[in-house]
Structure 1
Amino acid sequence: MADSLVIVESPAKAKTIGKYLGKNYIVKASMGHVRDLPKSQLGVDIEHRYKPKYITIRGKGSVLKELREASKKVKRVYLAADPDREGEAIAWHLAHSLDLELDKPCRVVFNEITKQAVREAFKHPRKIDMDLVNAQQARRILDRLVGYGISPLLWKKVKKGLSAGRVQSVAVKLIIDREKEIRNFQPEEYWTVTAVLLAGDEPFEAKFYGYGKDKAELKSEDDVKQLLEKIKGKRFVVGEIKKSERRRNPAPPFITSSLQQEAARKLNFRAAKTMSVAQQLYEGVELGKEGSVGLITYMRTDSTRVSEVAQSEARQYIAEQFGENFVPSQPRSHKKNAGAQDAHEAIRPTSVMRTPSQVKPYLSRDQYRLYKLIWERFVASQMAPAVLDVISCEVHAGDAVFRATGSKVKFPGFMKVYVEGNDDNQKEEDKLLPPLEEGQVLKKKSIEPKQHFTQPPPRYTEARLVRTLEELGIGRPSTYAPTLETIQKRGYVTLEDKRFIPTELGEIVIELMEEFFPEILNVEFTANMEEELDHIEEGKVDWVKVLDAFYSQFRERLSVAEKEMETVEIQDEVSDETCEKCGRPMVYKFGRYGKFLACSGFPDCRNTKPILKSTGVTCPKCKQGEIVERKTKRRRTFYGCSRYPECDFVSWDQPASRPCPRCENLMVIKKKKNESTIHCTECDYQTTER
């Protein structure tokens, strides 16, 4: 009979751990937190050292009853929630709910759910770390004070149902500030001139650099005309040639923020989806006869540190699969990020020997793609650097100097496995120069002037925003995904073409907060608060003093805002469409899934409908409607007939603007990474033309 009860957060984690511990242990799931602050009231006694009033979360009564009954039948209870502040708080709440003795070692933590790691962790249980618990409590209470202080004001002065959060407000302000930069941006004209030259029969490109040793900018068409006049009739002669060898090191293994960024770039995953799938890989996946196995280490981390055992295994794998020359002379370590807590290892596979191809049959498509990304990034991070041969040369046409650069991979190193993505989706390709000699006269094939205009800074994608929050020290690994979800659900921003755009509501709320609560939106203030929470975790400062220092000033701000904040009336934007039910004009509204149309006669008329984006293509099924772009509830784009539900035509692929030249049926655009092909839906015709 079992003599120990182990409590974790989820059934999947319970199943995996139970397999490793054996019959002497009962493993049950608490399904996350069991206690929290009440939703109906502040739940914080400010006058008595910010004492929180915790209540059992609705629906968790039956879970707690089952855990209490199970705890009475065993000698020991172990609390094995995730190894972070949130996990420590879950363990503490469980200890209180089950009347466990806090001075006894009942807390078990592990960074990876493998047989060795789990069994080793249970040999060394510890007491609940109250510094970690207090850091979590301080964050929870701090956010409650801000939210329950400012939100009622916004309900009265702006609109019912609004809320304000500490980290979320800074994220919205960053998006709004970027939008202002874009609106105020003044484009500047500039030109480039490219000479297409021939060395024998081999063409290559050289771009204008300047005159003599001085760099010159071409700011107008007149500048270009002057250049073309100067090089008219001149010979293009090869000048100085430089050859060098460049070494390129791999990116470090993933931390939470870099995983979210790279999954967005390469897999088109939202931050919340990345963390959800990573949680599944961490907690355990059924691998046939091997049973449930945790495939990756803990996924909420800011550390690039890797254990010696994992490094040794990776080096062995790399040597066997690619050769000794792909293994660096010393195990590779990566620079610690400034401000990183370094509590856990980097995100890596629990065993590099479980290759993506081996586990693919047991994983869902999303699980496989994310595991492959994590596995490849980790293996590459432990490999030898890539070596590139770089050749650059100057080409002279009179006083004008053109420059050409070429590179070739001499030794691929880590690039054999993985190359980090970039936000602009630029592909890296070998760009070779033909054999050249100083003094060699080249043939001029063409001169190509091009006009350009400077571009405004890009809007934030999820990846860019996460990176910016991390660089500024705003939030922590566990907060990025929920922050991005919250600012969209509140209607403060929308995501269009994968880029954040602030709404009028978002701009009004942030403007009011800038006037009355400037420190909440101050990046430095928010980053310093995150450091204070870290100091609480490290046992350096008292959590009550941190809260008191914040609230004493915040309370004064709140009092002023209640008296002086003016009421703002937000007028709904009227559309060109008329409600088909009552004849009133339709207006634009914002909901959790973005912008939609609603009848202006609400609440008398509750008619709503989505905003449809036309493709200009006639429906191939009914021949009457046109194909429009629609969204699923999970924001995935698909295409359907505008006459739905009368016509049920749907397609995941975007319709092409022209019919098939062979059979005149509908063609669709199929996108794969950076390439697009057009396929006929009836015959086998396809083309790469756009």
Structure 2
Amino acid sequence: MHLIITEKHDAAKRIAAILSEKKPAKERINGVDAYKFDGKTVMGLSGHIVEVDFPKDYNNWQKTDLKELIHAEVQTTPTHANIVTALRKLGKEAEYLTIATDYDREGELIGVEALNVIKKVNPEVPADRVRYSTITPAEIKKAFASPANIDFNLAAAGESRQVIDLIWGAVLTRFVSLSSGRLGDKFLSVGRVQSPTLAIIVNREKERDVFVPVPYWELFATLVNGGEFEAQHKKGRFLDKNEAEQIKAKLGSTGTVKSIVLGKRNEKPPIPFNTTEFLRAASSIGISAANAMRIAEFLYVNGYISYPRTDNTVYPATLDTKDIIASFLNTEFHAYSQKLLSGKLEPTRGKKETTDHPPIHPATPAKRSQLKDDEWKIYELVVRRFFATFAGETQWETMAVTVDISGEEFGANGARLVEPGWRWYYSYNVPEDRILPQLREGQVLTVKEVNLIGKETQPPSRYGQGHLIKIMEDMGIGTKSTRHEIISKLYSRAYVVGNPLQPTKTAYAVIEALEKYANTITKPEMTSKLEQDMDEISEGKITEEYVVNESKDMLEEVFSDLFKNKELISESLKNGLYEDRIIGTCKKCSSDLIIRKSRKGSRFIGCSSYPKCDFILPLPKSGQIVITDKQCEDHGLILSK
């Protein structure tokens, strides 16, 4: 029997249907579905079927010596017993094994994990590897016709990440949680990638905290004569209100067109989607990074789009882009497909070119009725971006007008879209036309009204998910496969709320303590160096053992700094965490109102001066409590949710 292992059940079902001439027979093995045809059996896993962990002796946080934990043995244990049992049963019967998991570090490691399980019951079974970027009939058949060797270096790079993240996460999380007294389900997680990411968010918020708004004024004139438009004084911002008022006072009732400058502006089409650009685009249409990746994974497994985890921004020559475009001729994208095919197909190119997977692109046409609303939004986004990379430039006609009003210059800029180019295909966030009336130099215009508007400078904006992922990529924090997961973890641990991301007081407390006493943890350089090392493992330049030991040495230095300042860190964290419980001022006695727990474990808002003051407010029995910057209209308190 030829056993074929895929990463997930849906992929197994689809690949079996593609490879078999007839409908494959489904068999239930230890609660796991397998698909049989022509002497072949296809079985799907559920991602990782084993995990790395410390022996049970280290489970007690308070009794474990954390320095000893750095060098503790790391063991592998099954996470899906039923799948492992089914794998052993089928593996024992297998005469040949093919690993058909996703082609990246994680996928290679998952495949090697399955191989190791099977080798224990069938040591001599020969094995190979198939690689593909779309689960379509043509590509799957081509992949199985020319299998390759398993890349054990790539798997080792994936395993090194697991081991390093386990050790760093366990040691740092336990230290910070024990120091702060936050144990149980309220523990404070700290991680090699998570903490530098959180530091970026907190430091941006600190910039906002210290920002002092500067008042300024802008002067506008509404002009009419054959059309109405608004022009702004050429100085732009006035920091001196008296100066602006003096200019306003001297303005007459007419103005003269001093100059008209006509021009053209072209916008180049976008580059192909890699994971980062895809997640940024999804975020711009209101779909979170984590949700976008979940949907993209579903679309990939079901054959609608290519593999969504890629750094590539250049379509490989082997990708039949013309055939993909032509496949949409009988869909609602007919007009776009037809227009592209009528011209020369020359796609844009980004700076990153890799050989593992192509940029994200549509694989097969889909109908709206086949997908849920968000699934269709992501699918349409991928299709439109793919089309746009083959389209021409967008062309705008521009018009810059200068008007003299009593010796003061006012300006207005207009723009009109004359050739949609790629924006016809990729119709997201298209700027609106700003049409100015037909004017000529020397023309006299009537000043309808003059407005002096007072404003303030604004603090730096918070980072949205898409922007943060781009910053993480630029700094070498995390990978294309993990960045969205890190952001999700920050939400789940109540370190951030909202989008754009706003850090909680808990996030402030953790990052401020780490930056003061062990700032290596919050800097991108350390995690970026380890990411580079993992790349070198996959390239066979260095070994997994070398990188893991190097990371342990780094962690020992960090832990030494933490341990030396244990008492100071504990005090800093406890003070900061207390602030995160404060939601307002008690109206009865003016003390702090804080989130408290009763002896029975229920939550409520109570006065910090209890028992002198017994003011309380109820809280829901379940759900995560996060302090926001909104206020309760009834009590004037900071709202929790």
TM-score (norm 1): 0.75
Q: Secondary structure at the match of 2:41?
A: strand
Contact persistence 1:516–1:557 (CA under 8 A): no
Q: Which of the numbers 269, 282, 292 marks the counterpart of 1:250?
A: 269
Contact persistence 2:87–2:117 (CA under 8 A): no
2-structure distance, mates of 1:383, 1:555: 54
Contact persistence 2:313–2:351 (CA under 8 A): yes
Deviation sequence 1:315-346 (CA, Å, 0-9, x none): 55689625658966451122224xx7563111
Q: Secondary structure at the match of 1:436?
A: coil
Q: Which of the numbers 335, 347, 351 marks the counterpart of 1:321?
A: 335
Displacement of 1:631 in angstroms is 11
For 2:116, the equivalent position in structure 1 comes to 96
- In the alignment, structure 1 residue 301 sits paired with structure 2 residue 310: yes
2-structure distance, mates of 1:629, 1:223: 56
For 1:541, the equivalent position in structure 2 comes to 542
Q: Secondary structure at the match of 1:257?
A: helix
2-structure distance, mates of 1:311, 1:96: 38
Aligned residue identity for 2:98:
Y
Displacement of 1:42 in angstroms is 7.0
Aligned residue identity for 1:62:
N
Displacement of 1:368 in angstroms is 1.7
Contact persistence 2:271–2:389 (CA under 8 A): yes
- In the alignment, structure 1 residue 374 sits paired with structure 2 residue 382: yes
Displacement of 1:260 in angstroms is 2.2
Displacement of 1:298 in angstroms is 0.5
Aligned residue identity for 1:180:
K
Contact persistence 1:42–1:145 (CA under 8 A): no
Contact persistence 1:327–1:384 (CA under 8 A): no
1-structure distance, mates of 2:340, 2:354: 34
Displacement of 1:552 in angstroms is 2.0
1:95-244 superposed matches below 5 A:
95-99=115-119, 104-158=126-180, 159-160=182-183, 161-200=187-226, 202-210=227-235, 217-232=237-252, 235-244=254-263
Change over 3 Å in CA distance of 1:165–1:218 after alignment to 2: same
Aligned residue identity for 2:404:
H
Aligned residue identity for 2:309:
R
Change over 3 Å in CA distance of 1:61–1:608 after alignment to 2: same
For 1:15, the equivalent position in structure 2 comes to 13
Deviation sequence 1:591-635 (CA, Å, 0-9, x none): xxxxxx5x432xx22223799xxxxxxxxxxxxxxxx999999x9
1-structure distance, mates of 2:531, 2:305: 27
For 1:607, the equivalent position in structure 2 comes to 602
2-structure distance, mates of 1:536, 1:405: 55
Displacement of 1:219 in angstroms is 1.2
2-structure distance, mates of 1:464, 1:102: 49
Q: Secondary structure at the match of 2:470?
A: helix
2-structure distance, mates of 1:328, 1:218: 51
- In the alignment, structure 1 residue 263 sits paired with structure 2 residue 277: no
Contact persistence 1:311–1:331 (CA under 8 A): no
2-structure distance, mates of 1:276, 1:113: 17
- In the alignment, structure 1 residue 465 sits paired with structure 2 residue 465: no
Deviation sequence 1:23-82 (CA, Å, 0-9, x none): 233211121112221254679xx99x9897443324x22212212222233321111111
- In the alignment, structure 1 residue 279 sits paired with structure 2 residue 297: yes
1-structure distance, mates of 2:228, 2:583: 55
Aligned residue identity for 2:423:
M
1:470-509 superposed matches below 5 A:
470-491=473-494, 493-496=495-498, 498-509=499-510
RMSD, aligned CA: 3.3
Displacement of 1:185 in angstroms is 0.2
Change over 3 Å in CA distance of 1:167–1:503 after alignment to 2: same
Displacement of 1:576 in angstroms is 7.4
For 2:515, the equivalent position in structure 1 comes to 514
Aligned residue identity for 2:290:
A
1-structure distance, mates of 2:500, 2:166: 29
Q: Which of the numbers 403, 417, 423 marks the counterpart of 1:415?
A: 423
Change over 3 Å in CA distance of 1:93–1:326 after alignment to 2: closer
Stretches of structure 2 that go unaligned for 5 or more consecutive residues are 21-36, 60-66, 607-618, 627-632, 634-641
- In the alignment, structure 1 residue 435 sits paired with structure 2 residue 449: no
Q: Secondary structure at the match of 1:246?
A: strand
Change over 3 Å in CA distance of 1:52–1:34 after alignment to 2: farther
TM-score (norm 2): 0.81
Aligned residue identity for 2:147:
P
> How many residue pairs are counted as aligned between the two chains?
566
Contact persistence 1:6–1:80 (CA under 8 A): yes
Displacement of 1:546 in angstroms is 2.9
Contact persistence 2:324–2:363 (CA under 8 A): no
1-structure distance, mates of 2:267, 2:583: 54
Stretches of structure 1 that go unaligned for 5 or more consecutive residues are 211-215, 285-293, 422-426, 579-584, 589-596, 612-627, 636-641, 643-690
For 1:57, the equivalent position in structure 2 comes to 78
2-structure distance, mates of 1:489, 1:166: 17
Q: Secondary structure at the match of 1:238?
A: strand
Deviation sequence 1:160-205 (CA, Å, 0-9, x none): 23221111001111111011111100111222112211232x1112
1-structure distance, mates of 2:392, 2:287: 29
Change over 3 Å in CA distance of 1:306–1:327 after alignment to 2: farther
2-structure distance, mates of 1:586, 1:436: 64
2-structure distance, mates of 1:320, 1:363: 19
For 1:645, the equivalent position in structure 2 comes to none
Change over 3 Å in CA distance of 1:101–1:120 after alignment to 2: farther
Contact persistence 2:272–2:350 (CA under 8 A): no
